[in-house]
């Protein structure tokens, strides 16, 4: 199994939680995630009930007249007590089936979602944070490169100097002069990556962007990631493509139902994850 998208239910009983990873003293931590919990509150959700229950009675309709439906509040515990330490120079893949909490973990690490409980300590500035938060679909790629660059702390002159490089790297060509909403999702992802990676950030976060690129883009991305790692940055990559994760990451976190079930060398964890997925497939 290589680049397959995995999308089905699995039994949590098949998993044992990861033992805490041995922490080496020689490299400085760039990020500490301590017992992180993220709970989404979903407003306006309604329990489905039976067909008869779903049909409102005439009396209830009368009672509800003029009232806007507030609905119930439900909670989704997307991340449940994850802890790990990331070090300078590491490139860390995050794997797990659909809905396991990978993107939520990444967004929380980037500071986009406040922890419900627990803490995230960061040395430096996660770069995807700035770029993803500020890009605007109605504006051209050109304007977005400027906005994204400024959000990453570059000066306007620095952004201008990197402009050709970013366009070249993303491979979007003349599309750079069109509004970003006209881009394919792959083009948008490549441009986001090119902007995020342009300033050699302390922490680079990549959510699926690389999986959308062709072989040339992947090679360029790998080179860029290696450069960031060499300069003591930390790279996080969320991807369903185990081949990409294995090729680009030294370490992998496997998240399942909001919990960290494995944390270790990329090859080992990917092998465990593949075996788990194969077993789940065989069951279904
Ligand atoms: N904004 C939100 N509001 C409510 N629930 C959410 C929100 N975002 C994600 N969730 C829920 O949180 C859980 C984790 O979602 P998340 O997107 O982090 O998983 P994922 O592993 O990245 O999934 P995928 O591989 O499908 O992208 C899921 O149950 C999802 O339905």
- ipTM score of complex: 0.97
C-alpha distances in Å from residue 66, one per residue of 59, 60, 61: 14, 12, 10
Q: What is the pTM of this model?
A: 0.75
With the most atoms of ligand 1 within 8 angstroms of its CB, the residue from 76, 95, 185, 259 to mutate is 76
Q: What does the block give as tokens for 47?
A: 């329990």
User: Distance from the CA of 25 to the center of ligand 1, in angstroms?
Assistant: 34
Residue 42 neighbours by CB distance under 10 Å: 11
pLDDT in tens, the chain (284 residues): 444 444 334 443 444 444 334 434 566 788 999 999 999 988 765 554 445 455 556 666 555 554 444 567 788 999 999 999 999 889 999 999 999 999 899 888 878 789 999 999 988 766 665 566 678 899 999 999 999 888 878 899 999 999 999 999 999 999 999 999 999 888 888 898 888 888 777 888 877 766 666 778 878 888 888 888 788 788 888 888 888 888 889 999 999 999 999 999 999 999 999 999 998 888 77
User: Distance from the CA of 32 to the center of ligand 1, in angstroms?
Assistant: 22
- Within 6 Å (CB) of ligand 1, which residues are found? 40, 42, 76, 78, 96, 98-104
Look at ligand 1, atom 7, and give the residue with the nearest C-alpha: 40
User: Distance from the CA of 103 to the center of ligand 1, in angstroms?
Assistant: 7
User: Distance from the CA of 35 to the center of ligand 1, in angstroms?
Assistant: 19
Cβ 126 vs Cβ 113: under 8 Å: no
């Amino acid at each position: 199994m290589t680049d397959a998208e995995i999308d089905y239910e699995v039994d949590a009983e098949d998993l044992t939680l990861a033992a805490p990873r041995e922490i080496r003293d020689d490299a400085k931590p760039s990020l500490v995630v301590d017992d992180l919990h993220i709970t989404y509150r979903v407003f306006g959700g309604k329990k489905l009930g039976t067909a008869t229950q779903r049909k409102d009675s005439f009396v209830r309709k009368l009672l509800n007249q003029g009232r806007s439906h507030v609905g119930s509040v439900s909670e989704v515990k997307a991340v449940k007590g994850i802890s790990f330490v990331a070090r300078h120079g590491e490139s860390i893949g995050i794997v797990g089936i659909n809905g396991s909490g990978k993107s939520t973990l990444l967004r929380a690490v980037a500071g986009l979602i406040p922890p419900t409980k627990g803490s995230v300590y960061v040395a430096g500035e996660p770069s995807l944070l700035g770029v993803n938060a500020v890009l605007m679909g109605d504006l051209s790629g050109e304007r977005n490169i400027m906005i994204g660059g400024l959000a990453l702390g570059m000066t306007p002159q620095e952004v201008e100097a990197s402009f050709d490089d970013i366009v070249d790297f993303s491979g979007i060509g003349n599309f750079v002069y069109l509004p970003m909403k006209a881009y394919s999702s792959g083009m948008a992802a490549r441009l986001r990556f090119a902007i995020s990676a342009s300033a050699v950030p302390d922490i680079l976060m990549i959510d699926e962007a690389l999986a959308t690129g062709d072989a040339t883009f992947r090679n360029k991305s790998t080179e860029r990631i290696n450069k960031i790692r060499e300069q003591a940055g930390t790279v996080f990559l969320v991807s369903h493509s185990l081949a990409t994760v294995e090729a680009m990451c030294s370490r992998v976190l496997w998240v399942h139902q909001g919990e960290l079930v494995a944390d270790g060398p990329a090859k080992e964890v990917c092998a465990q994850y593949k075996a788990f997925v194969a077993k789940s497939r065989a069951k279904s």
